[in-house]
Amino acid sequence: MNHQKQLYAAYAYSFFAFFGITQLWVIYLGQQGLSLVAIGLCESIFHVASFLSEVPSGVLADRFSYRTMLVLSRIMSLISSAMMLINGGFAWFALSFIFSAWSYNLQSGTLEALLYESLLEADQKVRWPQVSSRLNIVIEIATSSGLLLAGTMVNWDLAVSYWLALGFAVLGILATLFLHEPQQHKQQDAHQTISQIIREAITVLRQQPTLRRLMVFDATVSAIAAAYYFYFQNVMTARHFSTPVITLLLAGTTVVAVLTIRLSPRLLKLNTNRLLAGVLGILSLLLLLTAIGQTAVISGLFLLIYGLSALMPPVFTVLYNARIPSAQRATLLSVASLLYSLAMIGLFPLLGWAIQQIGFAWTFGACGGLLALASLIGWRRLRHSA
């Protein structure tokens, strides 16, 4: 196996899979005649389907071929995009969102597992932090590029974005042809049953409390940062941001994210407990400053918090993979994704309600206060354990 070609193929797959050309689906569904309630239900259906399918998809990836799961992911994406081009009403669009959720689930953790196992096979595990960093930079650039391109179609014909999504799904399938299944995973396929994978994954979680804490920390911090990102869009609308300012902010998120992702290999050299306490402390401070409420201030904080959230995947994929056995890798990575979905299901509506009651600035300022308290407790424990 040519491992450099394997990496290039994985980067290409990531670019095609994460090209965010369909991110303006709220606007598109509105143009198709759906009410805001129906659009919100479509989003809820996506999260419920994703929540129910996340771990089963990881189990299938551990039982069968990683490549097969990646191909199925792009096929689900292709079906979802094709369905969005046909206005069959709410039920039709809701079904499309279920296929979209399956597309997300089937690749969630699978590509990372394939790459990590490939590096293990080549005795190059030490390269994983750099590989993970580059992978997430590719994803960030693809997501932002697709969003900016979709923005040019809003006043033209947003349906074109779904035609382009069909093309990118096909390109993603073609990219998998250049990926090679790690030999160790092929051998596991021959004798590992689904029930064995599930039992052994549960055993790993029971025996590794540190892994459980990492997953909960990642899910909570990522969910709060994601909520800040999405609800800030309402701030931009309420405060009448101009189109150039919105475009500049969205472009700025890409620049900030790439810069922070590039820092991840260096940060991973720090003690894990101190790294986590530092992330929690910085996020607390940024959220506390949100209470100032001035537009310029929270716009700058929006960029910084987005950059911090972009740092989470490349850091935690390294921390996870160092603690997860090969035979349960995709399954346990899916558990981490499931916890994030669970955190989003709980926090997102709660924060939305709080914003309606006391406003964006005070809601996230209060979150910062709670996280600062948690950070202080964490630092005290570190001092006692030192």
pLDDT band at 88 (very low <50, low <70, confident <90, very high): confident
Please say if the pLDDT value at position 2 is more than 70.
Answer: no
Please say if the pLDDT value at position 172 is more than 90.
Answer: yes
pLDDT band at 157 (very low <50, low <70, confident <90, very high): confident
pLDDT band at 186 (very low <50, low <70, confident <90, very high): low
Please say if the pLDDT value at position 380 is more than 80.
Answer: no
Two domains, one topology: 1-191 and 193-386 = yes
Domain layout of the chain by residue ranges: 1-191, 193-386
CATH topology of domain 1-191: Growth Hormone; Chain: A; (1.20.1250)
Q: Specify the range with the lowest mean pLDDT, choosing from 110-114, 137-141, 237-241, 360-364.
A: 237-241
pLDDT of residue 30: 81
Amino acid in position 149: L
Please say if the pLDDT value at position 122 is more than 70.
Answer: yes
Please say if the pLDDT value at position 385 is more than 80.
Answer: no
Percent of the chain with pLDDT over 70: 89
Task: Domain 193-386: state its class.
Answer: mainly alpha
Determine the 3-state secondary structure of 368 from DSSP: helix
| CA triple 360-363-364, angle to 5 deg | 85
- 53 vs 370: CA distance, rounded Å: 32
pLDDT of residue 175: 93
Mean pLDDT for the chain overall: 83
pLDDT digit string, tens, across residues 41-73: 887 788 788 878 877 777 777 677 888 899 999
- 38 vs 170: CA distance, rounded Å: 30
pLDDT band at 279 (very low <50, low <70, confident <90, very high): confident
pLDDT (mean) for 111-140 = 84
pLDDT digit string, tens, across residues 338-351: 788 788 777 877 88
Q: Specify the range with the lowest mean pLDDT, choosing from 232-246, 285-299, 306-320.
A: 232-246
| Higher pLDDT pick, 289 / 337 | 289
pLDDT (mean) for 87-92 = 90
Q: Which two tokens stand for residue 79?
A: 């079906």
Instruction: Output DSSP code: residue 152.
Output: T
Cα of 234 vs its chain's centroid, Å: 21
pLDDT band at 386 (very low <50, low <70, confident <90, very high): very low
pLDDT digit string, tens, across residues 318-333: 888 788 777 667 677 7
| Higher pLDDT pick, 202 / 287 | 287
pLDDT of residue 240: 79
CB 328 within 8 A of CB 62: yes
The contacts of residue 201 (CB under 8 Å, 6+ apart) are: 59, 328, 331, 332, 335
Please say if the pLDDT value at position 263 is more than 70.
Answer: yes
| Higher pLDDT pick, 181 / 81 | 81
pLDDT of residue 147: 80
Determine the 3-state secondary structure of 193 from DSSP: coil
Q: Which two tokens stand for residue 76?
A: 């689900």
pLDDT digit string, tens, across residues 355-376: 888 888 999 999 999 888 877 7
| CA triple 264-227-165, angle to 5 deg | 80
Amino acid in position 39: I
- 75 vs 119: CA distance, rounded Å: 27
